[in-house]
Amino acid sequence: MVSPVSAHACGIDFGTSNSTVGWLRPQHTTLLPLEEDKPTLPSVVFFNAEEDVVRFGRAGLQDYLDGYEGRLMRSLKSLLGSGLIDGVTEVQGRAIRFRDLLTQFIGTLKERAEAHAGRAFDQSVFGRPVHFVDDDTVADRLAETTLGEIACAVGFKEVSFQYEPIAAAFHYETSLAREEVVLVADIGGGTSDFSIVRLSPERARAADRWSDVLANDGIHIGGTDFDKQLSLAEAMPLLGHRSPLKSGREMPSSIYFNLATWHTINFAYTRQVWAEQQRLCLESTVPERMERLLALIRDRAGHWLAHQVEGVKIALSNQETAELSLARFSPGQQALITRSQFDVAAQALVEKIEGAVARLLPEAGVTASGIDTVFFTGGSSGIPLLRRRIAALFPQAKVVEGDLFGSIGAGLAVDAARRYGMA
């Protein structure tokens, strides 16, 4: 049922790991349900070969985890700004463009949001990271252009963009009673983005907010990078990574890097890779580990293992130890991983993110003591080491945790109402 007063446009947070759609309606929840009653749709596409259907979100991931034959695609947003976006991949014997995969997923977001809202959306504000691509303005601009073209292809007539941390700031601003200078730390699946913004109830009424945005910066590091480093440090050695061959050389690492990276896992399943790993198994000094690797390739269990690693990362945000299971391709095999091991694996990434935050202060013209609040959002902002190190840069500021998966979509809805109006 459409509210008598509602925004003309919606806000879309197309995320690396999860996506949301927000629509501003007084006395209504801002985020629209996208999968059953849940406001998030995991950014997952699964081509189910057995039933010849395409499934999205949790349903697609569950099909894969249940063992259906098919092709799983995750971290689709990572394709934007990369050379892969105009490439093709093979799915059930058919060549499919990566661009078309993104179009299918974003089209599904629009369809599900409209079905729940009971109306069509012709206009939308899309969130975007501060940098789709680090240190390459041409590729960054192309990534935004590509996303805009895809949005128009699925039926939007007018599309604009907002930096994701600024959108999160607008969501936080709806709760304020007085003015604050806020550092928004948005640690998502693919990027870490930061904004320093001056917020207040009075400023929220202004049509143009750019004078309140003191600085923006970001770095192309996010939750999937933490997954990758944890996988390389703790999971891949169980499959022979960094083990010696009989010749004294070390096992070639390319297959392990592909298996540890969500959007390159399928590269491990080619006939050429299979033949090469069989040969290396004969040369290995740890053949039992190589047998696990061969079993993973044979069972196409790479995404399953990546899902287990991601689960360990999430568990270690709330507890000191977690079990990593290899049961799908190596029954009975598991490893205990501690938070301190994760901290070691994450250290270099955390230092790079710290550097991006520190660079923001002189750009904004403020000191650390001038920050009133550090506002955390994004699913990966719950990583304890990362949160401690960022908060330590601003010892006088209060720390606020937003809706880790919904603040950006809700803030984009606020911005969409401001830009395109209410009726």
pLDDT single digits (tens) 17-55: 999 999 999 889 999 999 999 999 999 999 999 999 999
Structure-token match 């629009």, residue found: 110
Residue 148 lies in a domain: yes
pLDDT tier at 4, thresholds 50, 70, 90: low
DSSP 8-state secondary structure symbol assigned to residue 290: H
Per-chain mean pLDDT for the chain: 95
pLDDT interval class at 5 (50, 70, 90): confident
Length, in residues, of the chain: 423
Tokens of 243: 């083990």
Tell me the mean pLDDT in the region 133-139: 90
pLDDT value, residue 90: 82
Quote the pLDDT of residue 3.
46
Predicted local distance difference test score (pLDDT) of residue 299: 93
- Judge whether residue 1 has pLDDT over 70: no
In a domain, 265, yes or no: no
Strands 180-187 and 373-377: parallel
Q: Are strands 10-13 and 18-22 parallel, antiparallel or unpaired?
A: antiparallel
Q: What is the domain-level CATH number for residue 63?
A: 3.30.420.40
- The b-or-e profile of 322-360 (16+ CB within 10 A means b, else e) is bebbbebbbeeeeeebebebbbebbeebbeebeebbeeb
Give the whole-angstrom CA distance, residue 255 versus residue 231.
12
pLDDT tens for 310-321 read: 999 999 999 999
Q: How far apart are CA 102 and CA 97, in angstroms?
A: 9
- What per-residue string of b and e applies to 361-371 under the rule 16 or more CB within 10 Å gives b? beebebeeebb
Domain count, the chain: 1
Task: Quote the pTM value.
Answer: 0.89
Answer yes or no: is 237 within a domain. Answer: no
Q: Is residue 286 part of a domain?
A: no
Q: How far apart are CA 299 and CA 113, in angstroms?
A: 36
- Find the mean pLDDT for residues 69-94: 87
Residue 148: give the domain boundaries. 10-177+404-420
d(CA 141, CA 106): 19
Is there a domain that residue 211 lies in? no
374 within some domain: no
Q: Is residue 352 part of a domain?
A: no
pLDDT in tens, 175-232: 999 999 999 999 999 999 999 999 999 999 888 889 999 999 999 999 999 999 999 9
Structure tokens given for 304: 């399953």
Percent of the chain with pLDDT over 70: 99
Backbone angles phi, psi at 182, to 5 degrees: -120, 130
* Structure-token pair, residue 47: 């081509």
Which segments of 44-136 does DSSP mark as H helices, in order?
57-65, 98-117
Mark 283-299 as b/e (b = at least 16 C-beta within 10 Å): ebebeebbbbbbbbbee
30 inside domain? yes
- Dump pLDDT digits (tens) for 265-278: 989 999 999 999 99
Question: Distance (Å, rounded) from C-alpha 385 to C-alpha 171?
Answer: 25
pLDDT of 343-368, one tens digit each? Answer: 999 999 999 999 999 999 999 999 99
